[in-house]
Amino acid sequence: MGATKWRIFTIAITGTCKNEGMPELPEVETARRLIADEALHRRIADVDDSDTFVCRPHSPGELRAALTGRTLTAARRRGKSMWCETSEDGPDLGIHLGMGGRILVTSADGRVAEGGGPRRRDAQRHKAEWDRFTLSFADGGSLVLFDQRRLGRVRLNPAIDALGPDAADVTPAEFRGLITRGSVAVKARLLDQSRIAGVGNLLADEILWQARVHPAARTDTLRPADADRLYHALESALKSAIARGGVHTGDVIAARHPGGTCPRCGAEMRHGTVGGRSTWWCSREQALTEGQAPTTVR
């Protein structure tokens, strides 16, 4: 992009494994698809950017001035990062979903469609103050960042250069090289956004469970067969989570609790901390193989 083009971007993540459990790639992809299907090519008549915490460091009115009169022309995503291009070489618009934020798009006839983080069963009734950022369209509809916990963010010009290849697009050869390099715990490598962008804590546990790989196994001890199983598990887990509504729908996720048992073999689920994150694995099928000396598991 030229120097004159601004960029508003979502989910500023640097290359560490300290990402939160939500949102993960499937939730962000759900929001991106919603915007692509429902919000493009509608003229922006007004912008509510008055929430100074969500829109920091921008002052009220700054985003309004940049976006009013334009249209969203495309919705993009890389890993957990999502942005929309705008017309007339205008700024890109990005929205950080936070831990449970959702995108709500209202059509001209009042129909509301939602995408993003999963809807909580115990969710309270919608309150207007939870609408953190709003694009009002000239046709009477809108695009809203709804975020009860106020952990989302709208921001100008964050860099994405630190992000690795998108987890949904990484090739088998790229993945094999990224996943086996170094000697960190394999779960920490999956969570490292500078290596593979888009995998969070729940998705990592699901991938490792599907591949029958212990989360603390060192990356330099993974065999080619291990790397191939992990790649196919990544593909399978992403496809399933996007189709079913989020990473919380994974096959092993409901078993991640004290007393939980493996959905595949019935063995006890084990718990520890790997790469600084709460981690669950099957005590039987994800046992460490000979030579896979574990990194620290607490």
User: Based on the number of CB atoms within 10 Å of its own CB, is 124 exposed (0-12), middle (13-18) or buried (19 or more)?
Assistant: exposed
Instruction: State the pLDDT at residue 17.
Output: 33
Query: Across all residues in the chain, what is the average pLDDT?
Result: 86
Q: Mean pLDDT over residues 7-30, rounded?
A: 53
Q: How high is the pLDDT of residue 8?
A: 31
Query: What string of DSSP letters covers 186-208?
Result: HHHHHH-TTTSBT--HHHHHHHH
Residue 85 has pLDDT above 60, yes or no: yes
pLDDT of residue 123: 56
Q: What is the total residue count of the chain?
A: 298
pLDDT for 130 equals: 81
- pLDDT value of residue 31: 94
* Beta-bridge mates of residue 44: 137
Query: What percentage of residues in the chain have a pLDDT greater than 70?
Result: 86
At residue 284, does pLDDT exceed 90?
Answer: yes
More confident of the two residues 145 and 153: 145
Using the predicted structure, report yes or no on whether residue 2 has a pLDDT greater than 70: no
Question: In sequence order, which ranges of the chain are alpha helices (DSSP H)?
Answer: 25-38, 62-67, 172-180, 186-191, 201-211, 224-244
Model confidence pLDDT, tens digit, residues 258-281:
999 999 999 999 999 998 999 999
Average pLDDT for 182-202 = 94
pLDDT digits (tens, 9 = 90+) for 105-119: 999 999 999 988 776
pLDDT, mean of residues 54-81: 91
- pLDDT of amino acid 159: 66
Q: What is the spatial distance between Cα 72 and Cα 107, in angstroms, rounded to a whole number?
A: 14
Q: With cut-offs at 50, 70 and 90, classify the pLDDT of residue 22.
A: low
What sign does the dihedral 114-115-118-124 (CA atoms) show? negative
Quick one: pLDDT band at residue 52, thresholds 50, 70, 90? confident
**174: Cβ contacts below 8 Å, ≥ 6 apart:** 165
Is the pLDDT reported for residue 120 higher than 80? no
List, in sequence order, every beta strand (DSSP E) within the chain: 8-9, 44-48, 72-78, 81-86, 93-96, 102-106, 112-116, 131-137, 142-146, 153-156, 269-274, 277-282
